[in-house]
Amino acid sequence: MEEKFKAKFGPSFTIELLKNHYRALKKNYNCIKTLLSESGFGWDNEIEMVYADHDHVWDDYIKGRGAPSAAALRMS
């Protein structure tokens, strides 16, 4: 399977690199899923991003949950 993948996408993708990408995607997915279950957050289909109704919603969530990974998703 690894050889077929390398033949199609090139040799620069190692198993370890793909595992790291998978872990990062899984972490982001779980963070977004958690945010969307909280009140005050929603999903914008047009720009494909999480949004908060007000700035204080982000601030309260990040402070209250101690979720620095959510802070990375916040757009200024």
Show me where the domains of the chain are located.
2-71
- pLDDT tens profile 18-42: 899 999 999 889 888 988 998 999 9
Say which residue, 46 or 5, is predicted with more confidence. 46
Q: How far apart are CA 40 and CA 53, in angstroms?
A: 5
Predicted TM-score (pTM) of the model is: 0.70
Q: Per-residue confidence at 68, pLDDT binned at 50, 70, 90?
A: low
35 and 41 in contact (C-beta within 8 Å)? yes
The pLDDT value recorded for residue 3 is 82
CA distance linking residue 30 with residue 32, whole number of Å: 5
pLDDT digits (tens, 9 = 90+) for 36-58: 998 999 999 998 888 888 888 88
